[in-house]
Structure 1
Amino acid sequence: MQIIPQSELSFGTFAVPSRGFREVSPTGAVTSSGIFALSDTGTGPARFTVQYDRGNNGRKRLDLVIELVFSAAPVFNNGGVVAQLSRYQTDLPGYGVIEAGQVIRIEMPNCLQRVCSRTFNVGGRLDIDRSFGGARVAIPIPVNAVLVSVR
């Protein structure tokens, strides 16, 4: 089983006079405060695919249960800019805002193929404090997956 990142969570290009935030939802909607957007493009949610490979071409039906955990992202501190990613959001049914460390269950019933997968979007909030200068902020989203049941 693996988690494949399809696209990064992108907050676009903007300037921050001192302090502000920008939030991108799983659908791509953007809200912000205390920043000046320099472009209306370049924003979007992260996209991940969870993939299970049964290892053979058997046709036996499998019902899979996978647990995902998003960990707290590291704090970005560079060039007079401090940034923190928080308030994860997803389009997975039954989940909206996700706290770091929260377990998310994904069910993949009726897997009949060799490889079964599920793709989902993740949004989040980026809080920025700028004392001087500027930086290109890149913060990975740490996520782990565990297969907990195959029936």
Structure 2
Amino acid sequence: MMKQESRPFLKLSHARLFLNANKYATLEKQLENDEKYILKFLIKNEGRGRAKFVNIFTSEVLLREEFSRLEENETVTVELELNKVELEKLVNNKNNFLCLIIKFKDIYDSEFSAFYGFNIDSIKTNKNIIPVNILSYQNQYNSDIAN
């Protein structure tokens, strides 16, 4: 019988990733082009491990493919360029709520999903840092990612 490779599942739990919804998170309409919007926010790793985020999307729109590695205590700024159609798909007009799904991989290429939602109206005024614990928010664990 062949021995399967063992990948420590808890390795990623040491990476504590935060999405920062403070004054640096903005949704800007570009003046030179009425059809272009820029959503900016921060992702910070305050843990003792490394992770990388792979892509950011909603159920309908892939917003950005990214392969940035987040080292310990590192913060990255994410800028998503959206057109008007993409923005309308992102925002529910009834409550102006935006939900992002961010997929992460650990150093063993195991994939995890984190969900984050916020009210568009409160992006510029919300000064809270909202924690995203990968294990708590885990929806998928794919052991055969690296095919």
Q: Same fold (TM over 0.5)?
A: no
- Say which structure, 1 or 2, has more relative contact order (CA 8 Å, 6+ apart): 1
The alignment's TM-score, normalised by the length of structure 1, stands at 0.38
Q: Write 1 or 2 for the structure with the bigger share of strand.
A: 1
Higher CA-based Rg: 1
Q: Give the TM-score, by structure 2 length.
A: 0.39
Q: Which has the higher helix share?
A: 2
